[in-house]
Structure 1
Amino acid sequence: MHAAAFLPRGGVARKTARLRGQSIIEYVLIIAVVGLVIVFAGPGVAGGIRNQFNQVTNTVDSGTDGDNFMSAEEKAYREAMKTVASKDAKDWRLDEQKAAATDIAKNGTSSVVYAKAKAAMDAGTKFSMQLANGKTLEYRIIGINHDDLADDSGKAGLTFLTTSAIISSRMNATDTSAGGWEKSELRQKMNSGEIWNLMPGDFKSKVKPVKKLTNNVGGGNANKNAAVTATSDKLFLLSYSEIVPTSHWASGYPWTSSEGTEYEAFRGKVTNSDSVNACLLIGSGWWERSVHPSYSAYFLYVGYNGEPSNASSATGTTCVCPAWCF
C-alpha cells in the first residue's frame, strides 16, 4: 500500500490539529515518520506535509505552545524568576533570594539575575530577617557559586554572611581546640541547637547544607601538619583562608591555606596582615571556625577592627556571625 494512504482525507492534517502533551521522544518519532511519508508520497502531498510540519515546528519554537513542554513546577519557576529579575536586589524577599540563588546555581553568569546579585555583593547590600527572639538579623552576599553542596549535586548559588552583632557564644565548655570545628560545642548549636532554633521556619526550609573544609584535629605544634576534612553544615563560621588571600602561617602550618578559598566579597579588600580591614567591621569581634595554629586552647576570631588573625580561648564569649547558602 502506498504510504500516503494513511493520511486523512485531503492528504494533509487539518490546521486545527495540534500536538499536545507529547514527550520529546514522541516528537522525535513523529519527525521520523513524517520524513518517511515525505519520501514515499508524491511531490504535491509531500509539499503539503512540509508546510503543515513547519507550522507546528514554528509554533513550538516561538513559544506559543512551548508551555506544553513544561511541568507546572517549571512554569511557576519561570514566572517567579520574571518577578525576581524585575526587582532591585535590595528589595528581594527571602523567597526571592532563594529563587535567585537557584537560578544562578543552574545558569551561572548567564542567569538573568547574576548581574544584580554580583552588584549587591560588591556594594555590600544588606538584607534582614526577624529571629525567633524578636531581634533583627542583617546579612549580605559574600559568594556566588562558591560553596560545594553537601550532596555533591553542584554549587550553592549564593553564600550569605551575618553582619549583625546580636548572637554570642563560647566555642567550647573547656579551653581546648581538640576536634576543631567539627567537634565544637558552637557547631552543634548552629546546626541543631539554640542558634539554629533562632532562625525562622521559612529560612530553615531554604538553607542548603554545604561542605566546609577545616582542620578538625586541633591547634598547636603537634598538629602543624594536620589534614583538613569536610563537614556538612547548614550554618557555619568562616575560616581564616576564606577571609584572606594567603595565610601568613602557610610555611609553618600548611593547613591554614586549605580551609576553603577566599570569598569573592573580600577579594582585594582584605589583607593577611595585622592591618584594619574595614569591609569586615561590624563593631565587634566574631568567631572563625579555624583553630589557632600555635596554641591548642584557642580559636581564631576577627577583631573589632576587621583584623582576621586574632585569637581567643575556646571558653571566651565572642560574637557569632553565621554564614549559610541558598
Structure 2
Amino acid sequence: MFAGPQVSGAIRNQFNQVTNTVDSGADGDSFMSAEEKAYREAMKTVAQKEAKDWTLDEQKAAATDIAKNGTSSVVYAKAKAAMDAGTKFSMKLTNGKMMQYRIIGINHDDLADGSGKAGLTFLTTSTTISSRMNATSTNAGGWEKSELRQKMNSGEIWKLMPSDLQSKVKSVTKLTNNVGGAEKNAAVTATSDKLFLLSYSEMVPTSYWASSYPWTSSEGTQYEAFKGKVTNNYSANESLKIGSNWWERSVVPNTLSTSFLFVHDNGQPSSFGGAPDVINVCPAWCF
C-alpha cells in the first residue's frame, strides 16, 4: 500500500512546521539556550535522513522532538523502525575504543527533574567496558550503593564517555531494590542516574520470581525493543546476546548477600555472579 497525496502532504506539512519554527524570529534566538538552538538546527535535517545515519546531535534532536510530540513527531516512525530493527550506532570513547549502541525505549523513562519523559533510551551492545560491581562480596545497598554506579555516574566509566555525549545525557529515575536480595518484600526505591544498568524487569515480560520475591516485578517495565522478542525470563533470548555476559543492576533474589544478576552470553537474564566478578558493562542512557 502506498501513501496517498493527503498522507504525503501531511508529512510535508509537519516537517515544514519544524523548519518554519527554526527559521522564524531571529530576534528570539538570543533568548534560546544552547541546547534549544542545537535541537532546532538539527531538526532542519534529521527528519529527512535515515535513522541509521543520525549523528549524535541528530539523535538528541530526535529524542527532544519525540518527548515533545510523542507519536506525532515527524521522526517517531523512523526512531521506532530503527529500534525494531536493532539498528546500531557507534561512538569513540575517550580511550580510543569504539562503542556500539542501539535504541531500546521511546518515551519510556521518567526524567529525574519530574518534567516528563525522555524521548529515547539507548543501550550499549558492545563488549567495550568491563568492571566489578563492588570490591567485596556483598550486594548490600544494591545498585544505589554499588561501586559500579559511582563509576558510571561520575567515575572512570563516565569519564570514558565523550564530552559530546555527556552534555546531552538526561538524568532519569530508576527503580531498584536497594536493600538486598534476601528480603522477600524489600522496598523498591528510586535513584537519579545519567548512566545506568538495566534491571531484570526492564528486560523480561514477567518475573520468574514474581510470587516468591515480588520486588523483582517492580524495578521498571520491559523496554519496547524487547517486547515480543525477549520472552524467556529464565532461559536464553537471542535479543539479549552480545557475545559475552553483562551486568544487570538487580540483586539476586535469594538468601545470598553476595551477588547481582547478569545476562549470560546466551541471552539468559537470570544468571548471577559475585559482586567482585569482572563482567561486561553495558551502559544505558537517555536523551
Task: Name the TM-score, length of structure 1 as normaliser.
Answer: 0.77
120, 131, 143: which one pairs with 1:158?
120
Shift of the 296–92 alpha-carbon distance from structure 1 to 2, 3 Å rule, reads: same
The answer on 1:324 being equivalent to 2:285 is yes
Which aligned pairs between 1:44-193 and structure 2 lie closer than 5 A? 67-68=24-25, 71-72=28-29, 73=32, 77-193=39-155
Instruction: Flag the 1:88–1:172 CA change in 2: closer, same or farther, 3 A.
Output: same
Match of 2:250 among 284, 290, 308: 290
CA deviation after TM superposition for structure 1 residue 81, in Å? 1.1
Alpha-carbon contact 1:178-1:296 (below 8 Å) kept: yes
Give the C-alpha shift of residue 67 in structure 1: 2.6
- Give the C-alpha shift of residue 296 in structure 1: 1.3
Q: How do residues 201-216 of structure 1 correspond to structure 2 at under 5 angstroms? A: 201-216=163-178
Preserved contact between residue 184 and residue 213 of structure 2 (Cα < 8 Å): yes
- Is the counterpart of residue 231 in structure 1 residue 191 in structure 2? yes
Bigger CA radius of gyration: 1
Q: Please give the alpha-carbon distance, in whole angstroms, between the structure 2 residues aligned to 1:305 and 1:76.
A: 40
1:97 and 1:76 map into 2 onto residues whose CA distance is: 11
Determine which of 314, 317, 326 is the counterpart of 2:275: 314
Report the residue type matching 1:297 in the other structure.
T
Equivalent position amino acid for 1:259 in 2: E
AA aligned opposite 1:71: G
TM-score (norm 2): 0.88
Alpha carbons 2:47, 2:75 under 8 Å: kept = yes
One-letter amino acid of the counterpart of residue 283, structure 2: P
Residue pair 1:248, 1:272 contacting (<8 A) in 2 also: no
> How far apart in 2 are the matches of 1:148 and 1:205?
18
1:123-153, Cα deviation, whole Å (9 max, x unpaired): 0000000001100000000000000000000
Q: CA deviation at 1:75?
A: 7.6
Tell me which residue corresponds to 2:263. 302
Q: CA deviation at 1:70?
A: 7.8
**SS state at 1:71 partner:** helix
Question: Which residue, out of 201, 204, 212, partners 1:252?
Answer: 212
Is 1:279 the counterpart of 2:239? The answer is yes
- 1:203-251 Cα distance to aligned partner (Å, 9 max, x none): 100000000000000112xx11101000000000000000001001010
Aligned to 2:228: 268
Residue 67 of structure 1 contacts residue 75 of structure 1 at CA under 8 Å; is this kept in 2? Answer: no
Q: Give the secondary-structure state (helix, strand or coil) at the position aligned to 1:90.
A: helix
Indicate conservation of the 8 Å contact 1:247/1:272, yes or no. Answer: no
Instruction: Provide the aligned C-alpha RMSD in A.
Output: 1.7
- Matched residue SS, 1:189: helix
Greater RCO between the two (CA within 8 Å, min separation 6)? 2
Distance 1:98 1:298, change over 3 A: same
Residues 155-213 of structure 1, C-alpha deviations (whole Å, 9 max, x = no match): 00000000000110110011111000000000000000000000001110000000000
Q: Secondary structure at the match of 1:230?
A: strand
Query: Which residue in 2 is equivalent to 1:49?
Result: none
Cα distance change, pair 135–77 in 1 and its aligned pair in 2 (3 A): closer
Task: Tell me, yes or no, if the aligned pair for 2:204 and 2:233 is still in contact at 8 Å.
Answer: no
Look up the SS of the partner of 2:24 in the other structure.
helix
Corresponding position: 1:196 with 2:196 = no
Tell me if the contact between 2:235 and 2:270 (Cα under 8 Å) persists in the aligned partners.
no
Q: Match of 1:39?
A: none
Q: Match of 2:47, SS?
A: helix
Contact 2:46–2:58, Cα closer than 8 Å, also in 1: yes
SS of 1:288's partner is strand
Q: Residue 108 of structure 1 aligns to a residue in which SS? A: helix
Distance 1:256 1:81, change over 3 A: same
